[in-house]
Amino acid sequence: MITIKEAKTKKELTEYIKFPFSLYKDNPYWVPPIISDELESFDKTKNPAFENAEAYFYMAYKNDKVVGRITAIINWSEVNNQHKRKVRFGWFDVIDDIEVTKALLEKVYELGKQHKLEHMEGPMGFSNLDKVGVLTEGFDQVGTMITWYNNEYYVRHFEQLGFQVEKQYIESIFPFSNVKPEFFQKAQELIKKRYGLKSLTFTKTKDIMPHVDKMFDLFNESYEKLASFVAISDIQKEYFKKKYISFINPEYIKFVVDKDDKLIAFSIVMPSFTEALQKIKGKLFPFGFLHLLRAKKHSKDVVFYLIGIHPEYQNKGVTAIIFDEYYKTFSEKGIRNCIRTPELLENNAIHLLWKNFDPIIHCQRKTYRKDLAQWT
């Protein structure tokens, strides 16, 4: 018999977070989250996502043992402002038992019906800066700290339950040796002169902070036309600023401004924390923090996290300026591999940025949708 219980207390939420640790115990490709970080993300008093969203955390039990988990989410900004009558689901993990999957998704269905919503979609988080998609290809590739890993049978479960593919994402990788400066060095000089642009680079995190709010504003402006986009609020900007910017090497954040010092482009690259996260197994103490700090300083792999360009400057070659700055930084640090995080398959403009670097698509993922009226 399958029993579904909602996790509410810190103890219950910790059990919820730890379930994948047992599910993927011997899997060399799974990257554990930081348990305390996950707890904070689920804390309605700390995560500003709950300003415009509600979420419920469910665990499935069979013979008194946890066999699955899921988060049912409504992003009210998405529902009310974009008129997408959708209930989301995320943080989905399950044993290979279709009945457990169905029982968990039943809770998502119930939340959607309760609020007269029209369809469910997932896996996805509260916002666009959360993890997204179920892995469909690349099960033999090590993940990153900003992607979910899953077993191959997840896709089979969704398909058997009548879910349809809603969005597709690709991830790719290329060695830094593929980056040839002749593709952008001369171009970036011409583009700077033509449009009166200049790059801003940093060596200290405190020097970045005055620019971060403008960066998130530009992020909202750059991505607002994508189908899945939900804008970041002012409260969320403060939260992400405190939580993530200190995790990133200041020299890995690049800005481009115009002649009036208005921000028109930015890019964020992160050192790869994959190996460190696998070593610390979700715990910052007593030595986990040191592993992360070492990775921040010495990792030879980097993850391209975000890039945003003002609509007026898209298709004008501004990325040549950004690439030139990264080429200098990565050459100094001896970077070996560049990893791209999930990008919408339909976002051709982003894909074209990397064409000269001969990237290899090594992972693909999808979100799945089902109309609530079709639930049986």
Q: What is the dihedral of CA 133, 138, 140, 146, to 10 degrees?
A: -40
Q: In CATH, what number does 175-365 get?
A: 3.40.630.30
The angle at the Cα of 270, spanning 269 to 271, to the nearest 5 degrees, equals: 130
Exposure pattern of 262-293 as b/e (b: 16+ CB <10 Å)?
A: ebbbbbbbbbbbbebbbebebeeeeebeebbe
Domain map (residue ranges) of the chain: 2-170+366-374, 175-365
H/E stretch holding 344: strand 337-344
- Residue by residue, pLDDT tens for the chain (376 residues) are 999 999 999 999 999 999 999 999 999 999 999 999 999 999 999 999 998 899 999 999 999 999 999 999 999 989 998 889 999 999 999 999 999 999 999 999 999 999 999 999 999 999 877 999 999 999 999 999 999 999 999 999 999 999 999 999 999 999 999 999 998 999 999 999 999 999 999 999 999 998 999 999 999 998 887 766 778 888 888 888 887 887 799 999 999 999 999 999 999 999 999 999 999 999 998 889 999 999 999 999 999 998 999 999 988 999 999 999 999 999 999 999 999 999 999 888 888 888 889 999 999 999 999 999 999 7
For residues 321 and 188, is the Cβ–Cβ distance under 8 A? yes
Distance CA(312)–CA(257), nearest Å, equals 13
Please check whether the two domains, 2-170+366-374 and 175-365, share a CATH topology. Answer: yes
Q: Looking at domain 2-170+366-374, which of 1.20.58.110, 3.40.630.30, 3.60.150.10, 3.30.230.70 is its CATH number?
A: 3.40.630.30
Contacts of residue 323, defined as CB under 8 A and 6 or more positions apart, other chains included, come to 179, 183, 184, 188
* Amino acid present at 153: Y
Cβ atoms within 10 A of the Cβ of 57, count? 20
Please state the pTM of the whole predicted model. 0.93
The residues pairing with 339 across neighbouring beta strands, listed in sequence order, are 173, 303
Distance CA(178)–CA(181), nearest Å, equals 10
